[in-house]
Amino acid sequence: MRAALLLLAGLALVAPPVPAQIDGPRSGADFLTPDTRTLQDDDFLNPGLFAVEEGRALWNRVEGAAGQACASCHAEADMRGVAARHPVFDPATGGLVDLAGRVNAMRREHMGAPELPRESQAMLALTAFLGFQSRGMPMAVEIDGPARPFFEAGREDWFRRRGQLNLSCAQCHDDLAGRRLRGDTISQGQVNGMPFYRLMWRTMASRHRMFEWCETSLRAEPRAAGSAEYLALELYVAWRGRGLPVETPAVRR
């Protein structure tokens, strides 16, 4: 009996089996160990919810020369679906803009408030709060029209080998998702839960920080967060995960 209980306890720590061949997009949540999955699914346990609450407070806080808060102009309910559509082509800059870029543009142009650094706790909180407004909605970025060249650049980047380890994103996240890299199961590299709480870092992390981390792991020179390259890659990756529900704030290893 005791041995059986121990065995059960051991099994609970093993990741659920994921088939090596996977049809269609699968959220990173499907590749989690059961305990991490539980952490994500319970809003009373999920540490990312603290960021969402902090983001809500920032959303309502007056900042900058214009004496405005985000909430002065935007109803919280109107933010539903916004995160699911980003990044988008921005006619004002002629390039792509992601949620963080959008927040900073609003702060600069309408609030007279200083821009927030991308990986600052405040920016991660605000983008987590915005992502949370789309929770459960399908990812649906626009890739046609003026966004098309950026999408194509991002797709090319996905398939390009890089770094001393000479690997493309596709080689692991398309071809080998579900297989084991030492103790970890390779996910599809979907971004539908980001920004998410990363257990390894004990903090929230953005899509671009994960790109940087992955490239650094390949011993490649990473691009900068917010760079045109990462925005293009983000558009491709978001499109690749189209239809997946927004899970922000997800919890990951």
Site residues (vs another protein, CB under 8 A): 160-167, 171-172, 175-176, 179-183, 215-216, 219-222
From the list 140, 37, 146, the residue with the least C-alpha distance to 80 is 140
Catalytic residue among 70, 169, 172, 214: 214
Query: CA–CA distance from 73 to each of 66, 76, 83, 111, 162 (Å)?
Result: 12, 10, 18, 11, 44
CB of 240 within 8 A of CB of 186?
no
**Active-site residue, 172 included:** no
Q: Which is nearer to another protein, 182 or 202 (CB)?
A: 182
Q: What is the rounded CA–CA span in Å between residue 225 and residue 212?
A: 7
Helix (H) or strand (E) holding 239, with range, is helix 228-240
Q: Which is nearer to another protein, 38 or 171 (CB)?
A: 171
**Shortest approach of another protein to residue 224 CB, angstroms?**
13
**Shortest approach of another protein to residue 222 CB, angstroms?**
8
Q: Which is nearer to another protein, 215 or 234 (CB)?
A: 215
Which one-letter amino acid corresponds to residue 44? F
**Structure tokens, 108:** 């600069």
CB of 118 within 8 A of CB of 101?
no
**Structure tokens, 85:** 């559509």
Q: Which is nearer to another protein, 13 or 65 (CB)?
A: 13
Q: Which is nearer to another protein, 188 or 248 (CB)?
A: 188
The β-bridge partners of 167 are 162
Q: Which is nearer to another protein, 106 or 220 (CB)?
A: 220
CB of 107 within 8 A of CB of 63?
yes
Q: What is the rounded CA–CA span in Å between residue 248 and residue 231?
A: 19
Which residues make Cβ contacts (< 8 Å) with residue 228, sequence separation at least 6? Answer: 95, 96, 150
**Shortest approach of another protein to residue 161 CB, angstroms?**
6
**Shortest approach of another protein to residue 201 CB, angstroms?**
18
**Shortest approach of another protein to residue 175 CB, angstroms?**
8
**Shortest approach of another protein to residue 49 CB, angstroms?**
31
Phi-psi region of 210 (alpha: psi -120 to 50; beta: other; left: phi over 0): alpha
Which residues are known catalytic residues? 214
